[in-house]
Amino acid sequence: MPRFSQEVEDVLRRAGWLPGRRIDIAPWKLSATEFVWHAAAESFLQEFGGLRVDISGPGITRAREPFEFDPELAIGEGGKFANLSELFDRKFSPLGEIGQGEFFLAIDEEGIIYLLGDWALKYGTGDFALEKLVTGVAPERLSPPN
């Protein structure tokens, strides 16, 4: 069974991704010291870091928006990430931005990808989240634990 749908694989390849891709994320870890770095964030960014996906138009349940995997886009927002991590009892690490920079993409220690504003919306784990991002599937609102 293929890892991604053909559409998603084509979009990712146009953005520069190839199966087995691995980049050095040490520069990001050195420049973005205000953030939590866990194994899930490191693994995802080694494969997808630096990609900018330029998509637009209608999606399945929401509009498709461009997104970029560059954690430096969140520099200066360490307090926001820390507050949301505490509120939702997760360790959010930055992945990049979606849209025109209005919202951040983040990943928790379990490999679940989120859209963050003053709230958190859950896309799901790695490959599944990428399918949703590319095809325009709305994420689910995450509720803080009681």
Question: pLDDT for 36-65, tens place per residue?
Answer: 899 999 999 999 999 999 999 999 999 999
Please give the mean pLDDT across all residues of the chain.
Answer: 95
Instruction: Report residue 48 as tokens.
Output: 């997808």
Predicted structure pTM score: 0.95
Coil, helix or strand at residue 135 = helix
Question: pLDDT for 98-141, tens place per residue?
Answer: 987 789 999 999 999 999 999 999 999 999 999 999 999 999 99
**Placement of tokens 């330029």 in the chain:** 54
Domain assignments of the chain as residue spans, ordered by start? 6-139
Q: What is the largest CA-CA distance in the chain?
A: 43
CA distance 104 to 116: 5
Question: pLDDT for 10-34, tens place per residue?
Answer: 999 999 999 999 999 999 999 999 9
* Contact call for residues 41 and 65 (beta carbons, < 8 A): no
